[in-house]
A and B are shown apart, each in its own frame.
Chain A
Amino acid sequence: METLLEQIESGKLWQFPGGIHPPEQKFVSNQIGIGNLPLPEYLVLPLKQHIGANGQLLVNKGEHVLKGQVLTRPGTNWSLPIHAPTSGTIADIKPMPSAHPSAMPELSIILTPDGEETWCPLTSRESIEGLDSKALIDILHHAGIAGMGGAGFPTYVKADSAKQIEYLVVNGVECEPYITADDMLMREHAKEIISGIEVMMSILSPQYTLVGIEDNKPQAIEAMRTAANHNDKILIRAIPTKYPSGGEKQLIKVLTSKEVPSGGIPADVGVLVQNVGTLYAVSEAVYKGKPLIERVVTVTGNTIHTPQNVWALLGSEVKHLLHSQGFTPVEDQRVIMGGPMMGFTLPTVRIPVIKTTNCILAPDNQELAVAGQEQACIRCSACADACPQTLLPQQLQWFAKGQEYEKLEEYNLFDCIECGACSYVCPSEIPLVQYYRVAKAEIREQKLEKVKAERAKERFEARKARLEREQEDRQNRHKRPARTAPAKDKVKVSEALERVKSKRPEQSAVQAAIERAKAKKADDDTSTLEPDNSAVALERAKRKEQARKYKEEKAQSSDDSAPKDAVAAAIARAKAKKAAKAAQETNVPEQKDSKKAAVAAAIARAKAKKAGQSEVSDAEAAASSDKDPRKAAVASAIARAKAKKIAQGNDQADETAVQDSDAADPRKAAVAAAIARAKAKKAAKAEEEAQPHSDKPAEQTDAEPEDPRKAAVAAAIARAKAKKAAKTAEEAQSHSGEPVEQTDAEPEDPRKAAVAAAIARAKAKKAAKTAEEAQSHSDEPAEQADAEPADPRKAAVAAAIARAKAKKAAKAAEEAQSHSDEPAEQADVEPEDPRKAAVAAAIARAKAKKAAKAAEEAQSHSDEPAEQADVEPEDPRKAAVADAIARAKAKKAAKEAEQQTVLSGNTKEANTLTDSETAQLSPENKRKAAIKAAVERAKAKKQAQEQEGNDLS
């Protein structure tokens, strides 16, 4: 078995699969030698004539340049210089249509020849002895030599191969029909080509140089053999004529049997391919010092009078070449730069010849028929038989049409060399190559997009990380001053901490609250009303700390803060008001900052309370910002609780409550608040000789809580307890104007809140029932849920239950003389699904009525608008039904009611008004009815409010 080297030495050639034999048409242009052209009027020299980057401009407009003078300086990235092809003046430097299928404008130097052809000084040399590879590569680089076979790859880059080159393959195949530029060059300049080969050999030192020439160029083969006679390392190989054996990969296969790996370069298999034209230019550059300024171009085609190869200066326009050779355009004239298989049609003849231009083909429509209509693929796979890359063009075509890009890659689309053999043989005239080009472009585009997206993601993540880092930094920055800032606060906090550290250092707010509650109970029993504020203080301190952190976290989300601010402000105002009312000396702080104001107000209130009882008023405003009303509420609750305690014990509170705590979790806060209120109530209960006018506004959460549920629950519990307290209170003569809570909330989910509120009200009512001689004007607007709940159903249910109980209470209540102005609930809700709500409401009303019926001597002006569901339900049908049922029951109740003295005007009115309508309700009209009912209820509510106002006044 011979080794590969021996096989190559013996002249063995290999075959590549596929390939076609299109009409060669070489004879058209190779009958006469390479001609010369007259100087054109001007030359257009694109800065970029190769693969790689532009050089840097060295000349200016108006400058005179000599022939061969360098016009651009090469930079990095495979950039090459360009040179002046002749002496003349730079007329302009501007973008001009380029020699590219798209004719995309490319920055070009426009040179007006002076006709002198004055060369710049050239460095010629006799031999390359003494020049090392690097020097030679440098010469090639500065001569601006790029591959002249087609792609225009910078020759110096190739020559500077990092890999050992075993075989230098010289491409003199010229397999494209019509083109004879290399053929003629080899015939006329075989000697120079061989010396160019020798230069490359001295750079690369390959084992052999294999010159591949198709056997349809016997003269060229002969000339090359003669020229290479002296060098037995240069093997001239006549290879069978078959398109596309001039393809780099195919030629390597034919001459060396090697295959360039997919996606690789010939150097990967120790091969380097150079075109004969390039080698001629190498020789010229090295021995004569001439840069690449001209090349052989075949001008051919049936519309050319003298088809011939010509020496064309780079930058000569195609028009110049055509007209110099005589050109008679035909109808639908095509002018192709390159050969008929891989060349591209020019949109205009004013395109310059560049380093890669080997042929200008101007055929008539007989010799190269215009492509016919694309027909259906018949899967004959003639394309596969023709493919030199052993692809399955037919399958690729289906995938390309279906845009199945993954499949395309699976079928190795990117190994397609776009030789056009498949399109050539296709009986259906499917422009296969065009499909592949489009698909390739799409896939590249997609990959690019992917990369872009990847980068964008990275950027985004980096930014996120940076922001987080910055935030952390900010937090750290803020923490330090916060700890040290107000000395007073700090002292107090630390004091509090110290006080309670030993006791319950790890307790949570809730636990603390519970504990406190228990403690209070104990207090009740023992009636040793010693306030134990230490725990509270600890909690406060803790919460304060927490609040600061929270605040910092929230610092950036300013959009959230506005409503909370408002809430806080409201709380503050409410508290302040109450405080003002109760306090003998009210130190209401200026509300510059609503947040601070709120806190301050709370504190003020608390103090005021204390003052009211202990007559000590040393109110202190602690500046803080309540971003979250929940915490604020908690704090206020605590404050109130304390106040209550104080009041209860009649002790002198030594400690000033600093209430600026923001609970991280409002739920617990609320629980705590509730507990606090409960305690307060208990206190009130146990309190004997409650002094009148103890206006104890439990809480006014004008809040728009995000999740008010638990808060409300807590509030409710609190209120309930308060009521209990009231119940057991004997001789509660005071006008305990206790608006338990006014949740002007717009909760997102007010359900539980409402439930809680309801429970609270219910209990309150019970309390009222058992209360003897409740003479006080317990102005207790239980709740005003001006809510727009997303799902008010349960809320409504709860409310209903509450009302029902309340009614029961009212019934059982004897001598309820008090003006218990208790608008149970005003659910200004716009529920999305009010059905259940309505049902509940109905039930509630029904019960209420029952209650009213059973109530004996209900003399009190219990202005109790049971419910005013100003609802605009989306699906009001059920609601309406429920309403109707409710009203019906209510009516029954009313009928049976004896001595109904209760001024339940509003409810009644609403019922009366809607009752008659319900009778007429047809399914279609239910909605309208419901709306009407709503309107009615709204009116009733207004009335109630007015009444309430009157009562209060």
Chain B
Amino acid sequence: MKLTMASSPHNHSLKSVNKLMTCVMLACIPGILVQSYFFGIGVLVQLALALICVSAAEAAILKVRNRPIWPTLSDGSAWLTGVLIAVSIPPLAPWWVVVIGSVFAIIIVKQLYGGLGFNLFNPAMAAYVLLLISFPVQMTAWQPVNDLLATPLSFVDQLSLIFTETTQAGITLDAARQVIDGATSATPLDHIKTAVSQNMTTTEAMDNIAFSRFAGEGWQWVNLAYLLGGLYLLKAKVINWHIPVAMLVSLSVCSALGFVFGGHTGVAFHLLSGATMIGAFFIATDPVSASTTNLGRLIYGALIGLLVYLIRQFGGYPDAIAFSVLLMNMAVPLIDHYTQPRTYGHGARK
């Protein structure tokens, strides 16, 4: 009888890369829905664009690298990168922004380093930083939530803005972004940054119409939605608790200290504004570019939290998740090296 030979173990958990990635993408859904509720259908347009671009880029580069296309593409890692890019950029940003970001993330940051598992940096964040530095105007042109817009944008208008940079009526993005009171709004983080530079008091700054609740109309809900998704990931054991918890705790501690010592922004503001939650649960936890030991993850997460606070508070950019994550990506080999856990039987107490 012909028997099949195999190496032990002969059983395997049902986890797979594809399932992990799918899980993460599913966990993004609440956040994406909330985001598109507040910021319009443009979010979904960007998402579709990103997914198409990352698929095409991945397929192309795999073809060039002479690798099997479908088995690699179907692991879902490229799509996840696309999703993260799409939700990171302003919903009404011109179409080429997301295209450049997607292609750069996949081809340069991921595949040129050797593909999945070999990339030093988080592809989505590297792409985000590239876009932010190269196209600062487009990348910071977040419109206020729909409710506050002077002239609500229709689906067609949004499409038109994305692909032609004007609405059908010929209104530019800058004009379209105007709030009811006629002021051009930025994200709450932008606003605070500006407010601080204009020596406004916190009360004045927070008095802005955009800040109806803790961290600005819309944003706190988006963050809460991502928190929900993140909790699901923890529950599903797709991610470990170490990085998000360390990062959020660190950010909280820093912002609390900052607030105590006269800062404008409190803990809740920092936790629920900008990309804090998606960063903590979806971006910093990218296994490839994060630390791999438990202690290392704690250090990694905590330092990201610290950097986020520092950059938000003192840096030139309104948000800091991408920079913090990339900076810590660089530190990962070092962290991993020094946080090698004690192996059983080594230095055990007698």
CB distance B116 to A376 under 8 Å? yes
- Segment with Cβ contacts to B, from A257-265, A820-828, A849-857, A882-890: A257-265
A329-B1, A345-B4, A381-B293 given as contacts; is B344 within 8 A of A388 (CB)? yes
CB distance A334 to B3 under 8 Å? yes
Interface: B16 (CB within 8 A): yes
Q: Kindly identify which residue among A249, A392, A412, A427 contacts B15, using a CB–CB cutoff of 8 Å.
A: A427
Residue numbers in A under 8 Å from B349 (CB-CB):
259
CA distance A778 to B15 in the complex (A): 105
Q: Kindly identify which residue among A249, A341, A378, A392 contacts B287, using a CB–CB cutoff of 8 Å.
A: A378
Tell me how far the C-beta of B197 lies from the nearest C-beta in chain A, rounded to whole angstroms. 40
CB distance A340 to B9 under 8 Å? yes
CB distance B348 to A259 under 8 Å? yes
> Which residues in window 313-350 of B have CB below 8 A to A?
336, 340-346, 348-350
A334-B4, A378-B77, A381-B293 given as contacts; is B9 within 8 A of A415 (CB)? no
CA distance A714 to B334 in the complex (A): 72
Interface: A429 (CB within 8 A): yes
Chain B's interface: helix, strand, loop or mixed, by majority? loop
> Which residues in window 262-315 of B have CB below 8 A to A?
287-290, 292-294
Residue numbers in B under 8 Å from A394 (CB-CB):
292
Interface: A363 (CB within 8 A): yes
CA distance A394 to B292 in the complex (A): 9
CB distance A345 to B10 under 8 Å? yes
CB distance B293 to A384 under 8 Å? yes
Tell me how far the C-beta of A163 lies from the nearest C-beta in chain B, rounded to whole angstroms. 13
CA distance A395 to B10 in the complex (A): 22
CB distance A392 to B11 under 8 Å? no
CB distance A389 to B1 under 8 Å? no
Query: Mask for A311-346, Cβ within 8 A of B = 1, else 0?
Result: 000000000000000000100111110101111111
Residue numbers in A under 8 Å from B15 (CB-CB):
382, 425-427
In the complex, the chain B residue whose C-beta lies closest to that of A269 is B350
> Which residues in window 175-190 of A have CB below 8 A to B?
177
CB distance A411 to B9 under 8 Å? no
CA distance A326 to B15 in the complex (A): 33
Tell me how far the C-beta of B336 lies from the nearest C-beta in chain A, rounded to whole angstroms. 8
Query: Mask for B110-153, Cβ within 8 A of A = 1, else 0?
Result: 00000111100000000000000000000000000000000000
CB distance B5 to A340 under 8 Å? no
In the complex, the chain B residue whose C-beta lies closest to that of A260 is B345
CB distance B292 to A392 under 8 Å? yes
CA distance A335 to B4 in the complex (A): 8
Residue numbers in A under 8 Å from B8 (CB-CB):
338, 340-344, 418, 420, 423, 433
Residue numbers in B under 8 Å from A259 (CB-CB):
344-345, 348-349
Interface: A368 (CB within 8 A): yes
Q: Kindly identify which residue among B3, B17, B115, B294 contacts A427, using a CB–CB cutoff of 8 Å.
A: B17
Please give the number of chain B residues whose Cβ is less than 8 angstroms from any Cβ of chain A in the complex.
44
Interface: A428 (CB within 8 A): yes
Query: Mask for A337-357, Cβ within 8 A of B = 1, else 0?
Result: 010111111111100000000
Query: Mask for A380-419, Cβ within 8 A of B = 1, else 0?
Result: 1110110011111011000000000000000110010010
Tell me how far the C-beta of A761 lies from the nearest C-beta in chain B, rounded to whole angstroms. 75
Tell me how far the C-beta of B222 lies from the nearest C-beta in chain A, rounded to whole angstroms. 27
> Which residues in window 1-50 of B have CB below 8 A to A?
1-13, 15-17, 19-20
Residue numbers in A under 8 Å from B9 (CB-CB):
340-342, 420-421, 423-424, 433
Tell me how far the C-beta of A313 lies from the nearest C-beta in chain B, rounded to whole angstroms. 22
Q: Kindly identify which residue among A16, A264, A349, A379 contacts B1, using a CB–CB cutoff of 8 Å.
A: A349
CB distance A22 to B10 under 8 Å? no
CB distance A415 to B346 under 8 Å? yes
Interface: A434 (CB within 8 A): yes
Interface: B75 (CB within 8 A): yes
Interface: A482 (CB within 8 A): no
Q: Kindly identify which residue among B240, B292, B344 contacts A16, using a CB–CB cutoff of 8 Å.
A: B344
Tell me how far the C-beta of A387 lies from the nearest C-beta in chain B, rounded to whole angstroms. 9
Tell me how far the C-beta of A834 lies from the nearest C-beta in chain B, rounded to whole angstroms. 56
CB distance B292 to A389 under 8 Å? no
CA distance A388 to B15 in the complex (A): 19
A258-B348, A427-B19 given as contacts; is B343 within 8 A of A345 (CB)? no
Tell me how far the C-beta of A23 lies from the nearest C-beta in chain B, rounded to whole angstroms. 7
Residue numbers in B under 8 Å from A952 (CB-CB):
none
Interface: B182 (CB within 8 A): no
Residue numbers in A under 8 Å from B2 (CB-CB):
333
Interface size bracket, A side: 35 or more
Q: Kindly identify which residue among B3, B13, B77, B342 contacts A333, using a CB–CB cutoff of 8 Å.
A: B3
Q: Kindly identify which residue among B7, B12, B20, B116 contacts A434, using a CB–CB cutoff of 8 Å.
A: B7
CA distance A720 to B327 in the complex (A): 86
CA distance A8 to B3 in the complex (A): 47
Tell me how far the C-beta of B243 lies from the nearest C-beta in chain A, rounded to whole angstroms. 11
CB distance B344 to A249 under 8 Å? yes
In the complex, the chain A residue whose C-beta lies closest to that of B117 is A376
CA distance A343 to B5 in the complex (A): 11
Interface: A371 (CB within 8 A): yes
Query: Mask for A473-512, Cβ within 8 A of B = 1, else 0?
Result: 0000000000000000000000000000000000000000
CB distance A370 to B341 under 8 Å? no
CB distance B3 to A345 under 8 Å? yes
Tell me how far the C-beta of A247 lies from the nearest C-beta in chain B, rounded to whole angstroms. 10
Residue numbers in B under 8 Å from A335 (CB-CB):
3
CB distance A332 to B4 under 8 Å? yes
Residue numbers in A under 8 Å from B343 (CB-CB):
262, 389-391, 412, 415
CB distance A429 to B12 under 8 Å? yes
In the complex, the chain A residue whose C-beta lies closest to that of B10 is A340
Residue numbers in A under 8 Å from B7 (CB-CB):
371, 431, 433-434, 437
Q: Kindly identify which residue among A20, A342, A373, A415 contacts B71, using a CB–CB cutoff of 8 Å.
A: A373
Please indicate which of the listed interface residues B5, B9, B15, B341 has the most CB atoms of chain A within 10 Å of its own CB: B9
Q: Kindly identify which residue among A262, A384, A418 contacts B346, using a CB–CB cutoff of 8 Å.
A: A262
CB distance B20 to A380 under 8 Å? yes
Interface: A456 (CB within 8 A): no
Tell me how far the C-beta of B64 lies from the nearest C-beta in chain A, rounded to whole angstroms. 17
CA distance A376 to B288 in the complex (A): 10
CA distance A363 to B6 in the complex (A): 13
Residue numbers in B under 8 Å from A433 (CB-CB):
7-9
Residue numbers in B under 8 Å from A380 (CB-CB):
20, 287
Interface: A104 (CB within 8 A): no
CA distance A329 to B288 in the complex (A): 41
Residue numbers in B under 8 Å from A249 (CB-CB):
344-345
> Which residues in window 411-459 of A have CB below 8 A to B?
411-412, 415, 418, 420-421, 423-429, 431, 433-434, 437
> Which residues in window 5-51 of A have CB below 8 A to B?
16-17, 20, 22-23
Tell me how far the C-beta of B348 lies from the nearest C-beta in chain A, rounded to whole angstroms. 3
In the complex, the chain B residue whose C-beta lies closest to that of A18 is B344
A349-B1, A411-B340 given as contacts; is B348 within 8 A of A341 (CB)? no
Tell me how far the C-beta of A413 lies from the nearest C-beta in chain B, rounded to whole angstroms. 10
CB distance B17 to A378 under 8 Å? yes
In the complex, the chain A residue whose C-beta lies closest to that of B337 is A395
Interface: A60 (CB within 8 A): no
CA distance A437 to B7 in the complex (A): 10
Interface: A253 (CB within 8 A): yes
Residue numbers in B under 8 Å from A329 (CB-CB):
1
CA distance A394 to B8 in the complex (A): 17
CB distance A423 to B12 under 8 Å? yes
CB distance A23 to B11 under 8 Å? yes
Q: Kindly identify which residue among B116, B336, B344 contacts A253, using a CB–CB cutoff of 8 Å.
A: B344
Interface: A151 (CB within 8 A): no
User: Could you pull out 10 A-B pairs where Cβ atoms are within 8 angstroms?
Assistant: A260-B345, A262-B343, A341-B10, A379-B288, A381-B293, A395-B292, A427-B16, A427-B19, A429-B16, A433-B9
A342-B8, A381-B293 given; 16 more Cβ-contact pairs under 8 Å = A177-B11, A259-B348, A261-B348, A263-B345, A329-B1, A334-B5, A340-B9, A345-B5, A376-B17, A378-B288, A379-B292, A415-B343, A420-B9, A421-B9, A427-B20, A428-B117
In order of increasing CB-CB distance, the 10 nearest A-B pairs are: A420-B9, A259-B348, A262-B345, A380-B287, A376-B117, A381-B292, A434-B7, A340-B11, A389-B344, A412-B343
